[in-house]
Chains A and B, each alone.
Chain A
Amino acid sequence: EPEVTQTPSHQVTQMGQEVILRCVPISNHLYFYWYRQILGQKVEFLVSFYNNEISEKSEIFDDQFSVERPDGSNFTLKIRSTKLEDSAMYFCASSAIGDTQYFGPGTRLTVL
């Protein structure tokens, strides 16, 4: 059964550094999402991506965040200058048209 994969599983970085979280969605899916979950809080929507552009972004997704689908298979989330409050589990998801979202295992980001 096809799966969404994410790398790395755990990323530790210093405050102010750039990080790139990588995701490989399911191959025939067209919609891509990033969510995050800060420890003890709800899973929060960050951004959705369709047809090579952002279709919606949340208030969290400010100028420090960007997404890219550089090669037709990977889907990346970049945080330009990490803050302590960016520490969270980041989940990538993908879906076919109007269908269920399938999630990757997550990347745990720790900002020191």
Chain B
Amino acid sequence: AQSVSQHNHHVILSEAASLELGCNYSYGGTVNLFWYVQYPGQHLQLLLKYFSGDPLVKGIKGFEAEFIKSKFSFNLRKPSVQWSDTAEYFCAVTRPSGNNRKLIWGLGTSLAVNP
């Protein structure tokens, strides 16, 4: 069965520190990859996505992620975090075929950025 693993469950950083959140998935076929973010009290929002093409994708708010097919990974990065990046971050995967594109989710990473 497909699964998604996020390695860091709780991360605490100071402002201006660099961020990298790991995500690995277990599925050998073609996948679409997503990072969603949930700010405190808000709903899940798309941060960035990879469908095909350049494996380095850029998202909103200075985030980027790199798809490494050989490692089944899609790690999220940001060179310099801000206090406003405090949120829950979710990696998710879907298979790009058929009428159902159910998302398979990682457990999420809670990021706290100290001012």
Contact between A56 and B100 (Cβ–Cβ < 8 Å)?
A: yes
Residue among A45, A51, A93 making CB contact with B104, cutoff 8 Å: A45
State whether the Cβ of B90 lies closer than 8 Å to any Cβ in chain A: yes
Q: Are A42 and B107 interface neighbours, CB within 8 A? A: yes
CA distance A31 to B99 in the complex (A): 8
- Interface residue range, chain B: 20 to 34
Chain B positions within 8 Å of A103 at CB level: 36, 43-45
Task: State which size class the interface on A falls in.
Answer: 20 to 34
Q: How far is the CB of A68 from chain B (nearest CB, A)?
A: 18
Contacts of A33 in B (CB 8 A): 102-103
A-B contact count (CB 8 A): 55
Interface stretch (choices A13-21, A79-87, A94-102): A94-102
CB atoms of A105 and B99 under 8 A apart: no
B105 near A101 (CB under 8 angstroms)? no
Bound Cα distance from A35 to B36, whole angstroms: 14
Whether A56 contacts B49 in the complex (CB less than 8 A), given A98-B96, A105-B42, A106-B43, comes out as no
Instruction: List, in ascending order, chain B residues with CB within 8 A of A100's CB.
Output: 34, 46, 49
B residues with a Cβ closer than 8 A to A are 34, 36, 42-46, 49, 90, 92, 96, 98-108
A-B residue pairs in contact (CB < 8 Å), sample of 29: A4-B43, A31-B99, A33-B103, A35-B105, A42-B105, A42-B106, A43-B103, A43-B105, A43-B108, A44-B105, A45-B104, A48-B102, A50-B100, A51-B99, A55-B99, A56-B100, A56-B102, A58-B102, A91-B44, A98-B101, A100-B34, A100-B46, A100-B49, A101-B103, A103-B36, A103-B43, A104-B43, A105-B43, A106-B43
